Amino acid sequence: MRQYAGFGTAAETNQRYQYLLAHGQTGLSIAFDLPTQIGYDSDDPQALGEVGRVGVAISSLADMERVFKGIPLDQVSTSMTINATAPILLALYLVVAKQQGVPWSKLNGTVQNDILKEYSARGTYIFPPTPSLRLVADIVEFCTKEVPGWNTISVGGYHMREAGCTAAQEIAFTLADGIAYVQTCVGRGLAVDSFAPRIAFFFNCHSNFFEEVAKFRAARRLWAHILREKFGAKNERSMVLRFHTQTAGSTLTAQQPDNNIVRTTLEALAAVLGGTQSLHTNGKDEGSVIPTEASALLALRTQQIIAHESGVTAEPDPLGGSYYVESLTDRLEQQARDQLREIDNLGGMLKAIESGYVRQEIYRAASKHQQAVEAGKKIIVGVNEYVSDQPLKAKPQPVDPRLEPRRYRELAALRKKRNASKVQQCLATLEKAANSSENLMPILMDCVRSHVTLGEICRVLRSVFGEHQPSHSV
Amino acid sequence: MKSKRPLKILIAKAGLDGHERGALVVAMGLREAGLEVVYTGIRNTPEQIVASAMQEKVDAIGLSSLSGGHMAQFRRVMEVLKQEQVKGVLVFAGGIIPDEDVKKLQKLGIQAVFGPGSSIASILTFLRQRLR
């Protein structure tokens, strides 16, 4: 049970974590605001209006210290939804752990560190794909040696599915991203069995119940084959596809929001029957806002009822052997294989992404779905059928208008207080290292320890790596 | 006043928000209906959006936002349009926008806001009514 949460300020986020831990949640999950995800400090002009909106704003070590104040890092597992700036956020976490006196060998957690799907769907990329893959591998290499309990990549299909792709495409695009990561790390000289067991996956659970159960089963089977046959993995744990699941935000409706509780329960059940290792159930209001405390609690209770009352967790694969589920599994595996072959024919996933193929496939499917809904061929209760004349009520969590000015003051004070020549020295070292093939993790930790901010680090990396220029044509 | 030139629409995302599905599905749907659509991708500054609109000589601008940053960003788009003395371009919006903000946006001159579940058909009707 792992619920995603993150609020504007570090202090509020800390409070929510204390609340969730006290109510029996077993892991923490951090949402960052967009400036943090895209490498801008809260006081950067690019961050205007976005600070603390979709998660917590982290620009410096002081922010990270505040998030985890009073939370012993050896007693929790922490999942960070962070990609382009993952090396920096991980560096911050590792420095906070050291401050708490917690050895890295006792840390448990995950960084999403899955940059490739950002180019296809989620959009929080910074650098072009090739230097981005180097950063992904820096984390894998560093953690394999220094933080053995850390899940170094969470390869996600969730966002591509939210963006509109089909179940089979979700399997194919996710595993294709996974293949690209494994290839990169192997290319760096890492033995596949040394790092592959720490790669995890992150899937969507959509509304078509049996198709989703079959999707998880097919993905597991396919990944095992790929690791063994393509990469020569010997360790069984390398072949195991461990995954986190989130119910599908895109199936939630702003209309008749209570219906979303039912949708989420069904999706959660499919994920459990499909064998997910951990689960996020969406709050009923999550389609339109960051959930309120009450709806976040109800979402957690939904999981607890499935786990402790329904009895469905007694067997790991309870639908195995069902004629329908087995045939759906075979069909999805075949469709995913076909799509993977198409990607191979394009020269691999990096090429498929750069050429815009993946985006085209995703948004073509999304458009088809929209047409089906508008033609009434697909019924969405409360939207195109069984509509009731209630006014729409989106009640967003207000973001305190004083937050941005306060962040400006905090950062200005920080920049004044810290040792400026040390900062310059750190940034110069970083620039040199970024231009070499050296692993950046130790250097990033030096930077954040000296109170260099995330935005300052990214400015240097942007100047060395350049920025990704997407093709907009779809 | 009927002209043969198809309506030309700019679909743009302001701010850092990367949720493109809504913007793209609308762009593709309008294109399918015979309109000319320019999509500018994610992470546009208000200045870039207005510059594209002027360069492409569009009839309307559709702004999309799902991260909650719409008030700051859309307001700025309207300001830049005024600064650049762009006239006769219809501005509409879509995304996750609370009711109370819809009224504020309308006061800024944004002519319609299409929330979750809106159909392409309703957007088309709106554009055709207001632009022809």
Residue with tokens 């024919």: A345
Confidence (pLDDT) at A309? 97
pLDDT above 70 coverage of chain A, percent: 96
d(CA A65, CA A462) in angstroms, rounded, equals 26
Domains of chain B with bracketed CATH: 8-131 (3.40.50.280)
Determine the length of chain B: 132
Taking a C-beta distance cutoff of 8 angstroms, is the pair A167, A208 a contact? Answer: yes
Lowest mean pLDDT among A6-15, A57-66, B61-70: A6-15
For residue range A371-385, what is the model confidence (pLDDT) as tens digits? 999 999 999 999 999
Any CB–CB contact under 8 A between A470 and chain B?
A: yes
> In sequence order, what are the residues at sequence separation of 6 or more whose Cβ sits closer than 8 angstroms to the Cβ of residue B120?
A370, A374, B25, B26, B29, B30, B33
Whether the pLDDT of residue B77 is over 50: the answer is: yes
Confidence (pLDDT) at A159? 96
Out of A124, A472, A474, closest to residue B18 by CB: A124
Mean pLDDT, chain A, rounded, equals 93
For residue range A392-420, what is the model confidence (pLDDT) as tens digits? 665 556 678 888 999 999 999 999 999 99
Q: What are the Cα distances from residue B39, in Å, to A241, B5, B7, B68, B86?
A: 37, 19, 14, 21, 19
Whether the pLDDT of residue A474 is over 80: the answer is: no
**Mean pLDDT (whole number) for B27-52:** 94
Any CB–CB contact under 8 A between A304 and chain B?
A: no
Taking a C-beta distance cutoff of 8 angstroms, is the pair B66, B17 a contact? Answer: yes
> Sign of the C-alpha dihedral, residues A253, A113, A54, A274?
positive
3-state SS record for A356-387 = CHHHHHHHHHHHHHHHHHHCCCCCCECCCECC
In sequence order, the β-bridge partners of residue A199 are: A153
3-state SS record for A149-172 = CEECEEEECHHHHHHCCCHHHHHH
**What residues of chain B, 18 to 57, have a C-beta less than 8 Å from chain A?**
18-21, 24-25, 27-29, 32, 39-43
Chain B hits for A366, CB-CB cut-off 8 Å, are 21, 24-25
Chain A hits for B124, CB-CB cut-off 8 Å, are none
Q: What are the Cα distances from residue A234, in Å, to A71, A218, A227, A238, A445?
A: 38, 21, 9, 8, 34
Give the chain A residue whose CA is nearest to the CA of B11. A472
Whether the pLDDT of residue A391 is over 90: the answer is: no
Is B117 in Cβ contact with A472 (below 8 Å)? no
Chain A hits for B41, CB-CB cut-off 8 Å, are 470, 472
- CATH of range A10-374; options 3.40.50.1820, 2.30.30.100, 2.40.30.210, 3.20.20.240: 3.20.20.240
d(CA A218, CA A228) in angstroms, rounded, equals 16
Out of A50, A391, A474, closest to residue B15 by CB: A50
> In sequence order, what are the residues at sequence separation of 6 or more whose Cβ sits closer than 8 angstroms to the Cβ of residue A338?
none
In sequence order, the β-bridge partners of residue A101 are: none
- Bridge-based pairing of strands B60-65 and B90-95 is parallel
Confidence (pLDDT) at A286? 80
For residue range A297-353, what is the model confidence (pLDDT) as tens digits? 899 999 999 999 999 999 989 999 999 999 999 999 999 999 999 999 999 999 999
Out of B24, B42, B72, closest to residue A366 by CB: B24
Domain ranges of chain A: 10-374, 403-465
The pair phi, psi for residue B68, each rounded to 5°, is: 95, 0
Taking a C-beta distance cutoff of 8 angstroms, is the pair A298, A261 a contact? Answer: yes
The model's confidence at residue B1, banded by pLDDT at 50, 70 and 90, is: very low
